[in-house]
Amino acid sequence: MVLDYVLSNAAIARSFTAYLGTAIGVSTSKWRFTLSFLPKGFNQIDVIAVLVILIITLIICYRLFITNLIC
């Protein structure tokens, strides 16, 4: 279930980075790191998107934990 949320939120997190960059006037390429050991086209890590996904995942896990304690 959590994996489903992470995968579905990946595209939204990536678009959030573009939106945030446009809103504050910063190029989104400054927020991406290139990793040489990954195949070309898949070798950029978007830091803001990763942080958004991690935050959403932690919130979901916390909510699931609290729900299990209540039941």
Segment 39-61, tens digit of pLDDT: 888 888 888 888 888 888 888 88
Do 9 and 56 meet the contact criterion of CB atoms below 8 Å apart? yes
**What is the number of alpha carbons within 13 Å of residue 52 lying toward its C-beta?**
19
Average pLDDT over residues 29-36: 84
Phi (first) and psi of residue 4, to 5 degrees: -60, -45
Confidence tier at 6 by pLDDT (50, 70, 90): low
Tally of domains in the chain: 1
| Helical spans, DSSP H, in 25-46 | none
Instruction: Give the model's confidence band at 2: pLDDT under 50 very low, under 70 low, under 90 confident, else very high.
Output: low
Residue-range definition of the domain harbouring residue 23:
2-70
Q: What's the CA gap between 13 and 33, in Å, rounded?
A: 16
pLDDT at residue number 18: 84
Q: Judge if pTM exceeds 0.85.
A: no
